[in-house]
Structure formats: C-alpha cells, structure tokens
Amino acid sequence: DGGITQSPKYLFRKEGQNVTLSCEQNLNHDAMYWYRQDPGQGLRLIYYSQIVNDFQKGDIAEGYSVSREKKESFPLTVTSAQKNPTAFYLCASTGGREVSQPQHFGDGTRLSIL
C-alpha cells in the first residue's frame, strides 16, 4: 500500500543536540511538507518542497533544516537553535498541481526534551 512513513514515532532530544526526523513516501508525490502541531494551535508550516533539490521556508523555519535529495525522502533536522522543540511533527505530501488535491499525512513523530 502506498503511504507516508515517519520515524521514529517518539524521539527525545538532549540539550545542544541536533536530531533528524525521517519522512519517506512511496506515493510518487512531488510536493512534501513538514508541520509542527502544538496543543490548541493549528498546524504550522516549517518547510516545504515542490520538487527534488528545492525547498522553501514556511512560517516557522528558524531552528530547523531540511534536504530533498530524493523524491521519496524529506528529512527534517531539529537543531540546537530551536529552543522549544517539544511538539508533534507531521510530514505530508501532495500529488499533482491541482489546488483541490488534499495533503496526505504520515503518523507523526512526537519530540520531547530530556
């Protein structure tokens, strides 16, 4: 079955440490997205990529970095510069360029501070 796989499901970060969240999709989608979800708030866009080797900052990119070396993969690194990283992180993808195309989501990674 096609879908989006995020790993790990739970992740703990120590002070001063960078951690990388994995996102892989086998839907052959061009566009991929990273969101952060905090209690009581809407999804906030961190980074997105419309095509391989290209990505754009979202609304809250500071303290995060991404790469898009392969169509299937869009890993997110939470750097030590992100002072409040505790949140639920969701990866999504979209097929086609029609605005009506919904985003498909992975099951998320919950990141906490040790």
Partner 1 sequence: GQNIDQPTEMTATEGAIVQINCTYQTSGFNGLFWYQQHAGEAPTFLSYNVLDGLEEKGRFSSFLSRSKGYSYLLLKELQMKDSASYLCAVTDSNYQLIWGAGTKLIIKP
Footprint of partner 1 (CB under 8 A) = 4, 40-45, 88, 90, 99-100, 102-108, 110
- Residue among 84 and 100 whose Cβ is closer to partner 1: 100
Nearest to 87 by CA among 58, 46, 57: 46
- Residue among 17 and 26 whose Cβ is closer to partner 1: 26
Name the minimum Å distance from CB 55 to partner 1.
Answer: 15
Return the HEC string of 75-108: CEEECCCCCCCCEEEEEEEECCCCCCCCCEECCC
Name the minimum Å distance from CB 4 to partner 1.
Answer: 8
Residue 6 neighbours by CB distance under 10 Å: 20
Name the minimum Å distance from CB 28 to partner 1.
Answer: 18
- Residue among 22 and 105 whose Cβ is closer to partner 1: 105
Nearest to 113 by CA among 5, 1, 17: 17
